Amino acid sequence: MNNILVTGAGGQLGSELKRLERNYPNYNIFFTDKSELDITDHNNVKKFLKKNNINFIINCAAYTQVEKAEFEAELANKINHLAVANIAHLARQKNIKLVHISTDYVFDGNTKNPYLENDETKPLSVYGKTKLDGELAIKKINPKNSIVLRTSWLYSKSGKNFYSTMIRLSRANDHINVVSDQTGSPTNAKDLATIILKILPKIDNSSVEIYHYSNEGACSWYDFAKKIFESNRIDVILKAVKSTDYSDRVKRPIYSVLNTSLIKNKFDIKIPNWEDSLENDS
């Protein structure tokens, strides 16, 4: 029996992992959120790992409020960086496999080609910087059999994300403005959760490895919104606007498409197109 700790279980990825648990009878999964396990507390995490004989950790916990992070840099750093270092140290000490979820926001978006895992990182925001610092901490500590899994534009039917925001806005508005000059790849949280649970036993490496996972294809936020409304048969008028039309205090990557060839080849997996995944999940 594999005993797995999932942190940040109340988020959209953690919720999808919980829904899939029944499909994996060999996994005994402990789902925790910040009220149940403070991942910044070394001793508490150490006791939890020992008590439950944990073999794997899937770290979904993160500070993800991109705009708010600009004003709460210390808290964002504590969760996205220091807590990650804490988990990595314990994973190394106890020989626990670690899967850490990171983000496309570690890149600046100044490219026209899908990002490879070893491309230069250059975050534009506090959120992106703290997530990158978390990655660097894991690489430095270097727990065996551990990976950093970067993803992009994560969404699900539950939780706070672009998908749920569009559905909510459509119920109160006939017209909705959506940015059309930022390009990325939407990632269905259920697809990502499925892949994580599938590859977990196959992770076997002496040094930390980085992989990219998102659904295939690319689109703008405007295209994504249009598909969401089409899939849910919602009649609403969409207007394409530029990023500069918003008084957003945070710089975001204009282009953050991730190249997923490495994870597909390494673990022999297929990744569905974002449009197909959205349609099938609607």
Residues acting as catalytic residues: 127
| Residue 168, CA distances (Å) to 152, 186, 228 in order | 21, 18, 12
Instruction: Check: CB of residue 109 under 8 Å from CB of residue 124.
Output: yes
Which residues have CB under 8 Å from 59's CB, separation 6+? 7, 8, 39, 84, 87, 98, 99, 100, 101
Q: Is the distance from CB of 205 to CB of 147 less than 8 angstroms?
A: yes
Residues 6 or more apart whose Cβ sits within 8 Å of residue 277:
186, 188, 191, 215
* Calpha distance 114→98 (Å, rounded): 26
Distance CA 248, CA 181 (A): 14
CA end-to-end span of the chain:
34
List, in sequence order, the alpha helices (H) in 99-160. Answer: 126-141
- To which residue do tokens 């109340």 refer? 10
Q: How many CA atoms lie within 13 A of 115 on its CB side?
A: 32
